[in-house]
Structure 1
Amino acid sequence: MNYRHSFHAGNSADVVKHSLLIALVRALQQKPGALTLIDTHAGCGLYDLGGDEARRTGEATQGVLRAFADTNPLLDDYRAAVQAVNAGAEPRFYPGSPRFLAQLLRPQDFLILNEKHPEDVNALRGAMRGTSAAVHQRDAYEFWLAMLPPRTARGVVVVDPPYEQTDERARITATLAAAHRKWAHGVTAIWYPLKDRATHVRWTQQLRKLGIPKFLVVEHWLYDRDQPDIYNGAGLFIVNPPYAFTQALPPLLEALRAALAPEGHRGEIRADWLGDGV
């Protein structure tokens, strides 16, 4: 799956991913101790929804614009974070994960970003100017392991690859296994697209073999049945999610499902434990 994010910024996957990231970080921030937030595939940091690439797909109309048209207060934090990078009532710009994470930083927290693509890392540095974020240009999987354990006792690693390489899932699986050995109590959030259930089931079975105890799977299927050869939704694997996050998750997931369901479809979004969940 080719996934240059400028074509897809603000789509339904972004709405779910960024809503959950906000909830995840804020749950961790219920404790005063410092956090290190690490983004392995940071992208450009900020996207123009009026640009040629975004307008070519029009995916924001089924994502962020639906979220803005919705009135459920559980999406207020997400809408406020998008509004923070826009001047008008309707979003023209969409923040990537780095800009969402930067908005969540407390004085004691750290943000470390990585992007390998030369053009994108230059855009990222511009988008993060004026923030405290450190920006690296390295192989994402080497960077992921090199950053662990972080300087703070607690933190989150966000892994959001383009899935352009055929071995992407294998590299994630191997790196997650090594990362868990280095930092067993750390929180990791891994985004993935959903094109067909069979491929996803095979990967999930491989991840289950890692034996990670607290491994949450959040899946958002847009359609009531698989649509062949197209994007069907997306999900997050979350290792070691805090209790406050998992307890608050069901109503947020229902709010996201209702806001993003395509016309004629109810859609489905659910969270299940891959490991023991204890």
Structure 2
Amino acid sequence: MNYRHSFHAGNSADVVKHSLLIALVQALQQKPSALTLIDTHAGCGLYDLGGEEAKRTGEATQGVVRAFADTNPLLDDYRAAVRAVNDGAEPHLYPGSPRILAQLLRPQDILILNEKHAQDAIALRDAMRGTHAAVHERDAYELWLAMLPTRTPRGVVLVDPPYEQTDERARITATLAAAHRKWAHGVTVIWYPLKDRVTHVRWKNQLRNLGIPKFLSVEHWLYDSDQPDIYNGAGLFIVNPPYAFTQALPRMQEPLRAALAPEGHRGKITADWLRE
């Protein structure tokens, strides 16, 4: 599956991913010690929802536009993060994970971004001008391991690949296993699309067999039954989610589901431990 950020900016997957990412970082920031935030597949950082690529799919209408039309206060932090990069009341620009993480930084925190695609890396540096982010242009999986353990006592690694390569899941699995050996207490967040359930269940079992404790799976299924050969939703694998986040997560699931449910479908958001 090819999932380039620019074609899907602001879609339902972004709403769920960024809402939960904000909540997770805020939960970690309840403690004063410094955080290192690492985004291995950072993309361009900022996206024009009126641009050619975003308009080609039109997916923002089923994502951020729906979230802005919703009034549930549990989505306020997400809407505030999007408003921060827009002048008007309606979203015309969409912040990728780098811009959202930059908004969350405290003076003691560190933000490290990586984007291997040369043109996207140029756009990323432009989008992050004026922030304190370090931008790299390296192989994502090499950088992931090279940055561990983090210089600060705590940290988060966000792994959000386009799934362009047939071995993407295998590389994630191998790198996560190696990363956990180097940094067992760190928080890792892995985004993934949901398309072929058989492939996904097989990968889920492979990750479960790594034996990593405190391994959470959050999945957003858009439709009430699988739609063959199309995008059915997305999820996050989270290693070592903070307690404050897991306590807040059940309250967030229903507002996100309700805001994003396609017409004629209820959809669902589940949260289950692979290992606890």
Residue number in structure 2 paired with 1:38: 38
- Cα distance in structure 2, aligned partners of 1:41 and 1:63: 21
Residue 105 of structure 2 aligns with an amino acid whose one-letter code is L
Residue number in structure 1 paired with 2:250: 250
Where do residues 198-237 of structure 1 align in structure 2 (5 Å cutoff)?
198-237=198-237
Secondary structure of the equivalent of 1:225? Answer: coil
Residue number in structure 1 paired with 2:27: 27
> Tell me, which stretches of 5 or more residues in structure 2 are unaligned?
none
Secondary structure of the equivalent of 1:161? Answer: coil
Residue number in structure 2 paired with 1:187: 187
Q: Deviation string for 1:113-152 (max 9, x for gaps)? A: 0000000000000000000000000000000000000100
Residue number in structure 2 paired with 1:160: 160
Residue 221 of structure 1 aligns with an amino acid whose one-letter code is W
Residue number in structure 1 paired with 2:138: 138
Shift of residue 4 of structure 1? 1.7
- Cα distance in structure 2, aligned partners of 1:204 and 1:55: 33
Residue number in structure 2 paired with 1:11: 11
- Cα distance in structure 1, aligned partners of 2:196 and 2:220: 12
- Cα distance in structure 1, aligned partners of 2:4 and 2:151: 32
Secondary structure of the equivalent of 2:177? Answer: helix
- Cα distance in structure 1, aligned partners of 2:3 and 2:186: 27
Where do residues 65-76 of structure 1 align in structure 2 (5 Å cutoff)?
65-76=65-76
Where do residues 99-178 of structure 1 align in structure 2 (5 Å cutoff)?
99-178=99-178
- Cα distance in structure 2, aligned partners of 1:79 and 1:95: 11
- Cα distance in structure 2, aligned partners of 1:223 and 1:25: 29
Residue number in structure 1 paired with 2:240: 240
Residue number in structure 2 paired with 1:81: 81
**Percent of aligned pairs with the same amino acid:** 87
Shift of residue 70 of structure 1? 0.2
| TM-score, normalised relative to structure 2 | 1.00
- Cα distance in structure 2, aligned partners of 1:154 and 1:5: 27
Where do residues 54-69 of structure 1 align in structure 2 (5 Å cutoff)?
54-69=54-69
Q: Deviation string for 1:4-58 (max 9, x for gaps)? A: 2111000000000000000000000000000000000000000000001111110
- Cα distance in structure 1, aligned partners of 2:86 and 2:38: 25
Structure 1 runs of 4+ off > 3 angstroms?
A: none
- Cα distance in structure 2, aligned partners of 1:232 and 1:97: 22
Shift of residue 159 of structure 1? 0.1
Secondary structure of the equivalent of 2:111? Answer: strand
> Tell me, which stretches of 5 or more residues in structure 1 are unaligned?
none
Q: Deviation string for 1:69-105 (max 9, x for gaps)? A: 0000000000000000000111000000000000000
Secondary structure of the equivalent of 2:161? Answer: coil
Residue number in structure 2 paired with 1:269: 269
- Cα distance in structure 2, aligned partners of 1:13 and 1:253: 13
Residue 223 of structure 1 aligns with an amino acid whose one-letter code is Y
Q: How many residues align?
A: 276
Residue 205 of structure 2 aligns with an amino acid whose one-letter code is Q
Residue 128 of structure 1 aligns with an amino acid whose one-letter code is M
Q: Deviation string for 1:255-278 (max 9, x for gaps)? A: 100000000000010100001x2x
Q: Deviation string for 1:230-259 (max 9, x for gaps)? A: 000000000000000000001101110000
Shift of residue 196 of structure 1? 2.1
- Cα distance in structure 2, aligned partners of 1:20 and 1:4: 20
Shift of residue 195 of structure 1? 0.2
| TM-score, normalised relative to structure 1 | 0.99
- Alpha carbon RMSD of aligned pairs, Å? 0.4
